[in-house]
């Protein structure tokens, strides 16, 4: 069994999505940032004494060395003309003698961004990670790589220990930056004093993390098992447990380590914390997409956006006697007639009470039909394959409610699957005002044929020296030996040579490959976008002597007007 299959099987034991616990090795891998020692060495350049001085004086304790550098740099930063620009921009963040160093470190890290196209393996890994189904991330990193990977719509970020402790965090799609973030320089846990303060609050942090650790699988990425930060946190958590309930952590702690040239392996192991033996799982590989990919296959009954909304509303209901009228709890068995103030309905066994729920909607002046999910399944997140299969369905066949897809499903899916086609759903929906659509859908709607192609495809398509013998979709498909090339070269056919009937037949024939993670899958999914655009997305202008019509899907108007009355522009 390979590690991808083994991890998928392992995660299937749990009913909750994983949390990721991300450390400095993650940033080293994708941003090439320094470890603790390397960072100290780099910022010794700001002070007169060299690295060897601080290393020896601190006895190799890097938080102590950081505090010494910060104290020595304090006066330099406030008086040296080299830092005038920094002072003017960031002096509001300078609250103590350690702030200057934190500001310069933050400036350095804020400029670190992941660059696609440099490392193909890393590109593949991060593309997989973007599609991962997780409940949240805990990290000790200061950089903003996670914010680059996951947008604000995908993840809510809590910076620092205090915000994690005192905010209404919901445990769904959240990033907890427990050692601070470079966007808030004074939040960095950098110096010995910072770590002392962090440790003094550890009992409170541990109580928050303990809930996560006993309810979710936790995957550690970018840490060594012997990492001091992890040991300290696990010590705090296990202090709340004893030998009789340490089993609550069984199978939940998963450590990912680099193979460094060795073979991949997946194995059960143990570590000892506070005299307790904790069962852990070790995954060793140099290809982290094998770790991220199983996370993309986890199924949710509700979208993360809907889960956050429901948990927030429930939290308010429990926390306050009157949650501002947001939720109405109704006992159908006893009956209730005053429904005019109901704003949000939560139903369990909705089919059984469908008539009562419909009655609430009709009698409420605030509820709208869009606020209820009337189905035995509730909210359903359709798979990529479901949606792509619908794109090539017959034009008079609709398997789903397209209005609902556009309002609820696609905005969520496009966060992690950014290349889904949308034109068919817009074309056959009842939504007339494009401003009513999510901005991500509008952005996809505005794409043109050339936008679907890679740079290489664009170059080959436009190259004057590109002398090609193929003149149709079927000729290209039959003329190449492997599927990767077939799909690649169909995409660069001139629009006039793409027969939609031929293209649809090929898409139907290869539908089972749409979830492939290799270039076959990538190139095939591009053809679905091209088909969707050509069949449903092109804007044409139909001119006659009396009027001009702008319409989508030109096939609908073929033969209606004579050729002399038609002027069609893509």
CA angle 183, 184, 189 (to 5 degrees): 115
User: Is a pLDDT exceeding 50 seen at residue 318?
Assistant: no
Q: Which of 371, 398, 425 corresponds to the end of one domain?
A: 371
Separation between Cα atoms, residue 283 and residue 292, nearest integer Å = 12
Whether 266 is covered by a domain: the verdict is: yes
- Which residues does residue 139 pair with via DSSP β-bridges, in sequence order? 22, 177
Q: Lowest mean pLDDT of 358-362, 414-418, 437-441, name the range.
A: 358-362
At 219, which helix (H) or strand (E)? strand 218-221
Same domain, 191 and 88: no
Whether 502 is covered by a domain: the verdict is: no
Mean pLDDT of the chain: 79
Same domain, 281 and 215: yes
Whether 66 is covered by a domain: the verdict is: yes
410 or 432, greater pLDDT: 410
Q: Lowest mean pLDDT of 394-398, 487-491, 516-520, name the range.
A: 394-398
Cα–Cα nearest to 197, from 237, 165, 155, 175: 165
- Residue-wise pLDDT for 84-100, tens only, equals 999 999 888 889 999 99
Same domain, 102 and 220: no
Same domain, 106 and 125: no
Q: Which of 110, 130, 159 corresponds to the end of one domain?
A: 110
Confidence of residue 221 (pLDDT cuts 50, 70, 90): very high
- Residue-wise pLDDT for 298-313, tens only, equals 876 545 555 555 555 5
Whether 465 is covered by a domain: the verdict is: no
Separation between Cα atoms, residue 295 and residue 130, nearest integer Å = 10
59 or 554, greater pLDDT: 59
Whether 458 is covered by a domain: the verdict is: no
Confidence of residue 33 (pLDDT cuts 50, 70, 90): very high
With a threshold of 0.75, does the pTM exceed it?
no
Same domain, 94 and 141: no
User: Is a pLDDT exceeding 90 seen at residue 293?
Assistant: yes
Contact partners, residue 562, CB within 8 Å, separation at least 6? none
Same domain, 260 and 141: yes
Same domain, 232 and 290: yes
User: Is a pLDDT exceeding 60 seen at residue 355?
Assistant: no
User: Is a pLDDT exceeding 80 seen at residue 417?
Assistant: yes
570 or 524, greater pLDDT: 524
Confidence of residue 168 (pLDDT cuts 50, 70, 90): low
Q: Lowest mean pLDDT of 170-179, 400-409, 510-519, name the range.
A: 170-179
Same domain, 312 and 350: yes
Separation between Cα atoms, residue 427 and residue 435, nearest integer Å = 15
Q: Which of 57, 87, 110 corresponds to the end of one domain?
A: 110
Indicate which CATH number applies to the domain containing 133. Answer: 3.40.50
Whether 471 is covered by a domain: the verdict is: no
Same domain, 40 and 166: no
Same domain, 349 and 229: no
Confidence of residue 568 (pLDDT cuts 50, 70, 90): very low
Same domain, 285 and 330: no
> Crossing angle of helices 62-79/99-110, nearest 10°?
100
Q: Report CA dihedral (297, 301, 306, 309) to the nearest 10 degrees.
A: -110
DSSP letter for each residue of 499-568: -HHHHHHHHHHTGGGTT--SHHHHHHHHHHHHHHIIIII-EEEEE-SS-EEEEE-GGGGTTTS-GGG---
Coil, strand or helix: which one is 267? strand
Whether 545 is covered by a domain: the verdict is: yes
User: According to the model, what pLDDT value does residue 96 have?
Assistant: 93
User: According to the model, what pLDDT value does residue 301 have?
Assistant: 52
Secondary structure of 113-153 in HEC code, one letter for each residue = CCCCCCCHHHHHHHHHHHCCCCCEEEECCCCCHHHHHCCCC
Q: Lowest mean pLDDT of 35-44, 177-186, 531-540, name the range.
A: 531-540
- Residue-wise pLDDT for 459-479, tens only, equals 888 764 455 678 899 999 998
What backbone torsions phi and psi does residue 299 show, to the nearest 5 degrees?
-100, 140
Domain count, the chain: 4
Domain that residue 232 falls in:
3-33+113-296
Coil, strand or helix: which one is 451? helix
Q: Cα dist. 470→358, 456, 467, 502 in Å?
A: 58, 19, 9, 14
User: Is a pLDDT exceeding 60 seen at residue 377?
Assistant: no
Same domain, 178 and 29: yes
Whether 14 is covered by a domain: the verdict is: yes
Separation between Cα atoms, residue 248 and residue 240, nearest integer Å = 12
């Amino acid at each position: 069994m390979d590690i991808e299959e083994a991890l998928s099987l392992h995660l299937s034991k749990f009913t909750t999505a994983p949390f990721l616990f991300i450390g400095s090795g993650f940033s080293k891998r994708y941003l090439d940032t320094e470890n603790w020692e390397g960072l100290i060495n780099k910022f010794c350049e700001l002070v007169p004494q060299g690295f060897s001085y601080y290393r020896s004086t601190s006895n190799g304790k890097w938080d102590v060395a950081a505090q010494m550098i910060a104290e020595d740099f304090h006066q330099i930063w406030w008086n040296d003309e080299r830092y005038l620009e920094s002072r003017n921009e960031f002096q509001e963040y300078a609250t103590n003698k350690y702030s200057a160093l934190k500001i310069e470190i933050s400036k350095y890290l804020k400029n670190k961004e992941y660059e696609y196209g440099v490392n193909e393996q890393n590109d593949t890994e991060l593309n997989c990670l973007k599609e991962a189904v997780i409940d949240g991330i805990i990290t000790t990193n200061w950089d903003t790589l996670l914010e680059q990977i996951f947008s604000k719509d995908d993840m809510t970020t809590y910076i620092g220990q205090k915000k994690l402790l005192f905010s209404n965090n919901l445990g769904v799609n959240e990033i907890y930056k427990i050692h601070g973030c470079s966007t808030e320089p004074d939040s960095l846990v950098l110096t010995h004093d910072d770590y002392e303060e962090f440790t003094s609050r550890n009992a409170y942090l541990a109580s928050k993390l303990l809930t996560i650790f006993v309810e979710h699988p936790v995957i550690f990425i970018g840490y060594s098992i012997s990492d001091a930060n992890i040991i300290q946190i696990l010590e705090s958590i296990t202090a709340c447990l004893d030998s009789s309930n340490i089993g609550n952590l069984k199978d939940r702690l998963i450590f990912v380590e680099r193979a460094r040239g060795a073979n991949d392996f997946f194995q059960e192991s143990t570590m000892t914390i506070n005299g307790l033996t904790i069962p852990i799982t070790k995954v060793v590989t140099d290809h982290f997409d094998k770790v991220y990919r199983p996370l993309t296959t986890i199924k949710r009954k509700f979208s993360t956006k809907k889960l956050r909304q429901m948990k927030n509303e429930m939290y308010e209901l429990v926390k306050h006697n009157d949650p501002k009228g947001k939720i109405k709890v109704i006992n159908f068995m006893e009956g209730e007639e005053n429904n005019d103030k109901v704003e949000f309905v939560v139903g369990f066994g909705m089919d059984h009470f469908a008539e009562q729920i419909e009655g609430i909607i009709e009698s409420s002046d605030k509820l709208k039909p869009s606020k209820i999910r009337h189905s035995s399944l509730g909210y359903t997140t359709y798979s990529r394959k479901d949606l792509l299969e619908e794109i090539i369905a017959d034009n008079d066949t609709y398997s789903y409610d397209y209005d609902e897809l556009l309002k609820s499903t696609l905005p969520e899916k496009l966060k992690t699957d950014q290349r889904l086609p949308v034109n068919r759903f817009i074309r056959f929906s009842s939504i007339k005002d494009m401003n009513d659509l999510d901005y991500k859908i509008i952005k996809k709607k505005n794409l043109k044929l050339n936008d679907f192609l890679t740079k290489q495809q664009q170059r080959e398509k436009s190259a004057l020296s590109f002398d090609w013998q193929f003149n149709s979709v079927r000729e290209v498909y039959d003329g190449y030996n492997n599927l990767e090339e077939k799909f690649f070269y169909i995409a660069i056919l001139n629009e006039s040579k793409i027969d939609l009937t031929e293209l649809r037949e090929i898409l139907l024939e290869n539908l089972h490959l749409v979830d492939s993670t290799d270039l076959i899958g990538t190139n095939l999914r591009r053809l679905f976008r091209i088909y969707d655009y050509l069949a449903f997305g092109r804007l044409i202008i139909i001119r006659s002597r009396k009027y001009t019509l702008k319409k989508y899907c030109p096939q609908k108007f073929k033969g209606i007007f004579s050729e002399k009355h038609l002027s069609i522009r893509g």
